[in-house]
Amino acid sequence: MPNFNNNQTTSMQSASEANLANIYDLQFLEYTHPTFGFKIRYPVGYVMVSSDSYLEALKFTAVAPNGNPGSIRVLVSEPFVKTDYQKVLSLIEQSSGESTVSGVNSSFIQLGGKQVFLINYTETIDVMDESYSVNQMFFNCPTYGVVLESAMPSSVSSENKVVFSMLESFVC
């Protein structure tokens, strides 16, 4: 997880980012993707890997105090239509033998000026020693669709505030 001892902020903060910076003394950086052109802000301490791939254009990882990894991925695809959301919900509800999914919720929310379809649930994976809070946020940019997907260990569920701050900062 980020280093909660940083004490710098920037002038281009969203309200939620400014709140996180004040409460946890976080510093945020901005990244512009070279292929897709989107911008996203993320906390110092997250490791970032960028790709030109549609499937996973960007990935952030951080490690919880107990050593379990958390991740935030930016997936790029064709723009979404409403039937796509139902397909994704059906797939999530069909848990595999390696994990158990519970508490699946979905809704449309407005965040950072974007209409977002949010799916959240808890996933317990056999090989991990704790459950994960998973958020999948779907929205469309002018020429492509985006899924901001996060999987955070339940021991650091407050990291979901960072995830929503990153979504709020996303600029197509």
**What are the pLDDT tens digits along the chain (172 aa)?**
332 222 233 334 565 666 666 666 678 899 999 999 999 999 888 899 998 877 889 999 988 888 888 899 999 999 988 888 888 888 887 766 677 888 899 999 988 888 999 999 998 877 777 889 999 999 999 999 999 999 988 888 778 888 888 888 899 9
* Residue 42 domain-assigned (yes or no): yes
CATH of the domain at 160: 3.40.1000.10
Look up the pTM and report it: 0.81
* Residue 61 domain-assigned (yes or no): yes
* Residue 140 domain-assigned (yes or no): yes
* Residue 77 domain-assigned (yes or no): yes
Q: With residue 123 as reference, give the H or E element that holds it.
A: strand 114-125
Using CA atoms, how far apart are residues 24 and 115, in angstroms rounded to an integer?
28
* Helices (H), ranges, the chain: 15-24, 82-93, 159-169
* Residue 9 domain-assigned (yes or no): no
Give the domain extent around 156.
15-169
Using CA atoms, how far apart are residues 112 and 115, in angstroms rounded to an integer?
9
* Residue 2 domain-assigned (yes or no): no
Residues in the chain: 172
* Residue 7 domain-assigned (yes or no): no
As for how many domains the chain has, the answer is: 1
